[in-house]
Structure 1
Amino acid sequence: MSLRRAFPVLRSALSRRAPLSTAPATREQHAAGLEAVRGRRAAEAARPPVPAVDFGNTQEAYRSRRSWELARSLLVLRLCASPALLARHEQLLRLARRLLGQRLFDRLMKMTFYGQFVAGEDQESIRPLIQHNRAFGVGSILDYGVEEDLTPEEAERKEMESCTSASERDGHGTSKREKQFQAHRAFGDRRDGVVSARTYFYASEAKCDSHMETFLRCIEASGGASEDGFSAIKLTALGRPQFLLQFSDVLTKWRQFFHQMAAEQGKAGLAAMDTKLEVAALQESVVKMGIASRMEIENWFTVETLGVSGTLDLLDWGSLIDSRTELSKHLVVPNMQTGQLEPLLSRFTEEEERQMTRMLQRMDVLAKKASEVGVRLMVDAEQTYFQPAISRLTLEMQRRFNVERPLIFNTYQCYLKDTYDNVTLDVELARREGWCFGAKLVRGAYMAQERARALEIGYEDPINPTYEATNTMYHRCLNYVLEELKHNARAAVMVASHNEDTVRFTLCRMEELGLHPADRQVYFGQLLGMCDQISFPLGELGFRWGAAGQGRRRWDSPPPPLCAGQAGFPVYKYVPYGPVMEVLPYLSRRALENSGVMKGAQREWQLLWQELKRRLLTGSLLHRPA
């Protein structure tokens, strides 16, 4: 079965251009990008200057908050700073519920943790908060915060069942996957050690359909909330993770094989985009190993795709895995020791084929809805043993839906050693194929789990060695993307960070590169209830300004005056919602996350206390946001 049949939802995109084709962009696509840049430059003269952003001005940072809300934030942050309390928070919550009863317990939570980090119980009840934040220039990314309350044993069982094939479970098949891409019972509960990301466990196809419907409601609500909305999805919520593991293993092995061939040609150790193989030598090696015939190789690497250079890079190599290749060959990978091809698995069952297809169909439904209502869709990053497949499937969505503007955003975790290579490869691919690059940059959510798993199972730790190295990686990737935005007005990036230094770095580079907030290429994102001292000074009153063209805004007429401290940058809060009892796992993670970032939380506490004292001393304790 070919990939085109296995991925029917991508059929129209595949027929329009070969997946991962490295053919140069058309003249029309180049013209569109150049025209966008010219239009931006023509508007620069009419733009007002960007106000300086002061993250230490508490009066402006918290002008949207009542005094009792500041007091609540102080209380919650102080409680999060208590290791003894956090170590027993689950037992204390159960005790409080028994003593108070459900009604009083719900009220207590809404006065404290729930009120701090969750917007409300349903989409109707959260509207006042969304509208309030919009009035102060901060948009919303809706996130249904309900999570399954599974025991570790239940989570482990679900994971092992959903990450192994039928042939592996019944003993008739032996997995040839690398151990990194095999399910391991000791790490079956993927929630363990993760405090800043939700975890989905596969239960059934019906449950995946339910997750899709939830994502659809969030997309629709985000489209109605603003003209420039965002929504986020996780691919592990949409299907059986077994496919992600298998596909990730294949993609990783083919990439490793490319670097092995590069080493044989004396080109080891070069940067990803600087490594180029001699086609003639590659043909001889590939034919000798039986991967493909000489005729197939010549058909793959034609003058139209490679030009006349006689070399190919990692992007060209990626085109080996495309719609022309039989799916069975995708499950056949080179053995690094023997140089021979081996089957990854015996085969997919018919039901596994259907499950894989339904996952892709759900992705397609969500992307189409996002396109229909004009909402940008961010695909969240997950564990490294899923991520190669997630990134590849996201890339396929980008190639289909990012033709006119960046609708689909891939997420890059900068605590990983290979993130810069992945960013540069994807930017270059977007250039070659002429679609719009969209990225969300994060530091990462799975560090402790990833390190423990690599150490226990015995493969290279994928995480940067230090926090400083992760900061360096983040700024390096961000700088590269900002440089691309300078020359490509059709690309965009979401800087999802609570790190004040990173936000300052972004603002500094934007000023140096001439990137204006009115271009709406650089977005900022933080979680509800955290880092208001960053979000609101950055924010804009520009949600009322007119939109033009493909969802982009222009300053054809002078915008309304910005409030002091409102700098005019597009900034968003992740806004979770759901019933009190069903979002308790989310609240637990928020409490643990605040305890884990004490430097930032301590500064936030000091600023909150400073503002509350200022209001008390100036007689403005009854401050009403306006």
Structure 2
Amino acid sequence: MKITRAIVGDYFFKVLMKGTFYGHFVAGEDTIAIRPTLERLRSFGVKPILDYSVEEDISQEEAERREVESFADRRYKVQSARTYFYLNEAQCERNLDVFQECLEKVSGKIVITSRALCKIIYILQYMILLQLSEVIMRTRQYMADVVGGGGNVLTHHVLPEELEKKFEQAHMLKDAPVQKFLDKITYDKEGVIHLFPWSGIIDENQQLSETFRVPDLKSGRMVRLLTQLTPKEEEMFRNMIRRIDSLCKMATDLDVRIMVDAEQTYFQPAITRITLEMMRKYNQNKAVIFNTYQCYLKNAYKEATTDLEQAKRQNFFFGAKLVRGAYLEQERARAAALGYPDPTNNSFDSTTEMYHQTLTECLRRIQDLKDKGEEKKIAIMVASHNEHTVRFAIEKMKEIGILPEDKVICFGQLLGMCDYITFPLGQAGYSAYKYIPYGPINEVLPYLSRRAHENKGILKKIKKEKRLLLSEIGRRITNGQIIYTPKGNYTPEIDRTKIKKKRKNKLLRVNLMKKAHLRKEEKIIKKVLNKIIKKSYQIILKSNNFSFNIISF
């Protein structure tokens, strides 16, 4: 693209992009330009998920310079593992302003909808996320070392009393720091949920370095799971939490759903942890905050199940977006370069199986809530371009008895892809969404380049869509409709209700008019009859003849 820009110039390059690549996958440069696209989607019963898709384009040399050696390899031929970072606070604040503007637009000023996508890394500091993710993984290992087993802390179902016995055996139980550690554990009757007070970390100004300390059974002293942070890094963390919290609060106030996008495995534990804390805080009455689960990862089912269990035990609404995943080649390249096990599934089919397994678990829990007559506290977005997966979800919904109007399952695809899936879903009354990227051409092209690279595996599998497009082109040429814009005729449920009410009122008015007309006719007939009877009576009196014939009317 850089070569094309150099040859044709900036102006003609933009014209070319709007007529091709950019114009097909991006709705426009700003919230004014995207209105026609949103209105067209709405006519087909499809709602938008807005995403301001501006990314920073950096060279491989810059990526290598910015990267730290401990979490990625930027050597020759590992360029596919490139990540787009926002290193300074000012940029994060600007991105926050953009996201907040997006929420305002989604809240109804452009078109009736209720979702926006947040690529959370745009407003967070990647180095802090990396360190938090490392703490979470070390915490899981610590729990396994203390009580045995593996997995997330919550899955052990260990009571605080059992931990106390372990510390007593190590002659540490009476130590003040150990007592302080035990006092801050989050637990319920089923066992420990968190070893650390995440709610306090999010809502209060607790020092991270002092919070993430655990009793070491071998040494008999408290050890840090997180290296000592500088005051500047502590401030960065507080700013990071402030930004995401303000965004979630605004979404709650505007009644807009936020879908937090997924990232690479070395960031994701921290992103999921923060997102779940936002769910706990703001998903009290409905699912406002959604987390994303990438089913190309081998642990996707376990992670989703653990988070579902946490939502159940802490009594908040759980929102999830299920995707196949966007960083497959990057994850494999990094695993090979750094010599650790590949975290991704081996094949396309195994990823599909993981997706269906995770979705089935979510639907099973929804069915359990329905059977018990309890509030449906689980909301799922099936974000897939796989027709088989969409059919699977619809069949499972019918099997369980989940109706489209229940609004607990929705579907989503990218703008410009799989319209033959999205539009029929919308027309049939399902909650169907299009992921709508927007932003200036020059700043969105890095995003488009990345998505093209990430989805090249999908692009190889769109034979059916190509066949449908060629068939439609042939039909238009044959029927003389080369310049043709399909018209949608979808009537939103709210409008359907209004129409039914309007028709009912109209019918009522017609019936009242008919009754009034009949009453008027009855009065006229009665008046005529009275006149006839009166006239006949007068005639009889004048004739002095009391024998008279019965007058028939």
How far does the alpha carbon of each residue in 1:460-512 deviate from its partner, in whole angstroms, 9 at most, with x for none?
32222332221111111111111222324232111111111111110010111
1:589 Cα deviation after fit: 3.0
1:582 Cα deviation after fit: 2.3
1:192 equivalenced with 2:80 (yes/no): yes
Aligned to 2:436: 575
1:158 Cα deviation after fit: 3.1
1:238 equivalenced with 2:99 (yes/no): no
Aligned to 1:438: 319
1:396 equivalenced with 2:277 (yes/no): yes
Given that residues 297 and 344 in structure 2 are in contact (C-alpha distance below 8 angstroms), is that contact kept between their aligned partners in structure 1?
yes
- Within 1, Cα distance between the matches of 2:247 and 2:174? 36
Aligned to 1:210: 94
Given that residues 125 and 240 in structure 2 are in contact (C-alpha distance below 8 angstroms), is that contact kept between their aligned partners in structure 1?
yes
Among candidates 399, 402, 405, match of residue 518 of structure 1: 405
Q: Which runs of 5+ in 1 are unaligned?
A: 1-92, 161-178, 540-565
- Stretch of structure 1 that moved more, 401-410 or 220-229: 220-229
Given that residues 248 and 278 in structure 2 are in contact (C-alpha distance below 8 angstroms), is that contact kept between their aligned partners in structure 1?
yes
Query: Helix, strand or coil for the counterpart of 2:51?
Result: strand
1:292 Cα deviation after fit: 8.0
**Cα gap change, 1:602 to 1:575, in 2 (>3 Å):** same
Given that residues 155 and 188 in structure 1 are in contact (C-alpha distance below 8 angstroms), is that contact kept between their aligned partners in structure 2?
no
Aligned to 2:511: none
- Within 1, Cα distance between the matches of 2:167 and 2:76? 38
**Cα gap change, 1:129 to 1:478, in 2 (>3 Å):** same
**Cα gap change, 1:283 to 1:371, in 2 (>3 Å):** same
Aligned to 2:294: 413
1:603 equivalenced with 2:459 (yes/no): no
Aligned to 2:502: none
Query: Helix, strand or coil for the counterpart of 2:50?
Result: strand
Aligned to 1:259: 144
Q: Whose RCO is larger (CA < 8 A, sep 6+)?
A: 1
- Within 2, Cα distance between the matches of 1:270 and 1:459? 18
Aligned to 2:49: 141
**Cα gap change, 1:476 to 1:187, in 2 (>3 Å):** farther
Aligned to 1:96: 4
Among candidates 446, 469, 481, match of residue 585 of structure 1: 446
Given that residues 294 and 300 in structure 2 are in contact (C-alpha distance below 8 angstroms), is that contact kept between their aligned partners in structure 1?
yes
Query: Helix, strand or coil for the counterpart of 1:600?
Result: coil
Query: Helix, strand or coil for the counterpart of 2:412?
Result: strand
- Within 1, Cα distance between the matches of 2:277 and 2:270? 11
Given that residues 293 and 323 in structure 2 are in contact (C-alpha distance below 8 angstroms), is that contact kept between their aligned partners in structure 1?
yes
1:359 equivalenced with 2:234 (yes/no): no
Among candidates 395, 410, 421, match of residue 508 of structure 1: 395
Aligned to 2:230: 349
Given that residues 122 and 577 in structure 1 are in contact (C-alpha distance below 8 angstroms), is that contact kept between their aligned partners in structure 2?
yes
The code of the aligned residue for 1:186 comes to R
How far does the alpha carbon of each residue in 1:494-543 deviate from its partner, in whole angstroms, 9 at most, with x for none?
1111111111110010111111111111111111111111111111xxxx
1:622 Cα deviation after fit: 4.3
- Within 1, Cα distance between the matches of 2:78 and 2:89? 20
- Stretch of structure 1 that moved more, 463-472 or 360-369: 463-472
The code of the aligned residue for 1:387 comes to Q
Given that residues 158 and 203 in structure 1 are in contact (C-alpha distance below 8 angstroms), is that contact kept between their aligned partners in structure 2?
no
**Cα gap change, 1:107 to 1:296, in 2 (>3 Å):** closer
Among candidates 357, 363, 368, match of residue 476 of structure 1: 357
How far does the alpha carbon of each residue in 1:527-577 deviate from its partner, in whole angstroms, 9 at most, with x for none?
1111111111111xxxxxxxxxxxxxxxxxxxxxxxxxx211111111112
Among candidates 23, 29, 43, match of residue 115 of structure 1: 23
- Within 2, Cα distance between the matches of 1:218 and 1:579? 15
1:426 equivalenced with 2:334 (yes/no): no
- Within 2, Cα distance between the matches of 1:326 and 1:623? 61
1:376 Cα deviation after fit: 0.2
Aligned to 2:473: 612
- Within 1, Cα distance between the matches of 2:280 and 2:98? 25
Aligned to 2:157: 276
Given that residues 157 and 188 in structure 1 are in contact (C-alpha distance below 8 angstroms), is that contact kept between their aligned partners in structure 2?
no
Structure number with larger C-alpha Rg = 2
- Stretch of structure 1 that moved more, 117-126 or 274-283: 274-283
1:208 Cα deviation after fit: 0.6
Query: Helix, strand or coil for the counterpart of 1:381?
Result: coil
> Over the residues paired in the alignment, what is the CA RMSD in angstroms?
3.0
- Within 1, Cα distance between the matches of 2:452 and 2:293? 24
What is the count of residue pairs matched by the alignment?
473
How far does the alpha carbon of each residue in 1:51-86 deviate from its partner, in whole angstroms, 9 at most, with x for none?
xxxxxxxxxxxxxxxxxxxxxxxxxxxxxxxxxxxx
Matches within 5 A, 1:318-357: 318=195, 323=200, 327-332=208-213, 342-344=223-225, 346-357=227-238
- Within 1, Cα distance between the matches of 2:151 and 2:198? 23
Query: Helix, strand or coil for the counterpart of 2:193?
Result: helix
Query: Helix, strand or coil for the counterpart of 1:493?
Result: strand
1:144 Cα deviation after fit: 1.9
Aligned to 1:221: 105
- Stretch of structure 1 that moved more, 393-402 or 318-327: 318-327
- Within 2, Cα distance between the matches of 1:190 and 1:289? 49
Given that residues 272 and 291 in structure 2 are in contact (C-alpha distance below 8 angstroms), is that contact kept between their aligned partners in structure 1?
yes
- Within 1, Cα distance between the matches of 2:476 and 2:67? 52
Q: Which runs of 5+ in 2 are unaligned?
A: 370-374, 488-553
How far does the alpha carbon of each residue in 1:232-264 deviate from its partner, in whole angstroms, 9 at most, with x for none?
11232113222111111111111122233443x
1:418 Cα deviation after fit: 1.8
Query: Helix, strand or coil for the counterpart of 2:49?
Result: strand
The code of the aligned residue for 1:524 comes to F
- Within 1, Cα distance between the matches of 2:18 and 2:397? 39
The code of the aligned residue for 2:289 comes to I
Given that residues 378 and 411 in structure 1 are in contact (C-alpha distance below 8 angstroms), is that contact kept between their aligned partners in structure 2?
yes
1:599 Cα deviation after fit: 4.4
- Within 2, Cα distance between the matches of 1:332 and 1:270? 20
- Within 2, Cα distance between the matches of 1:336 and 1:417? 31
Query: Helix, strand or coil for the counterpart of 1:186?
Result: coil
**Cα gap change, 1:594 to 1:397, in 2 (>3 Å):** closer
- Within 2, Cα distance between the matches of 1:286 and 1:329? 20
Given that residues 78 and 334 in structure 2 are in contact (C-alpha distance below 8 angstroms), is that contact kept between their aligned partners in structure 1?
no
**Cα gap change, 1:479 to 1:272, in 2 (>3 Å):** farther
Query: Helix, strand or coil for the counterpart of 1:120?
Result: coil
1:273 Cα deviation after fit: 7.1
- Stretch of structure 1 that moved more, 233-242 or 475-484: 233-242
Given that residues 321 and 330 in structure 1 are in contact (C-alpha distance below 8 angstroms), is that contact kept between their aligned partners in structure 2?
no
TM-score for the superposition, normalised by structure 2: 0.78
The code of the aligned residue for 2:358 comes to C
- Within 1, Cα distance between the matches of 2:380 and 2:433? 13
**Cα gap change, 1:94 to 1:260, in 2 (>3 Å):** same
Given that residues 130 and 270 in structure 2 are in contact (C-alpha distance below 8 angstroms), is that contact kept between their aligned partners in structure 1?
yes
TM-score for the superposition, normalised by structure 1: 0.69
Aligned to 2:521: none
Aligned to 1:170: none
1:227 Cα deviation after fit: 4.0
- Within 1, Cα distance between the matches of 2:182 and 2:9? 73
Given that residues 60 and 74 in structure 2 are in contact (C-alpha distance below 8 angstroms), is that contact kept between their aligned partners in structure 1?
no
How far does the alpha carbon of each residue in 1:349-381 deviate from its partner, in whole angstroms, 9 at most, with x for none?
111111110000001111111112211011111
The code of the aligned residue for 1:369 comes to M
- Within 1, Cα distance between the matches of 2:182 and 2:224? 24
- Within 2, Cα distance between the matches of 1:206 and 1:612? 48
Given that residues 156 and 189 in structure 1 are in contact (C-alpha distance below 8 angstroms), is that contact kept between their aligned partners in structure 2?
no
**Cα gap change, 1:441 to 1:292, in 2 (>3 Å):** farther
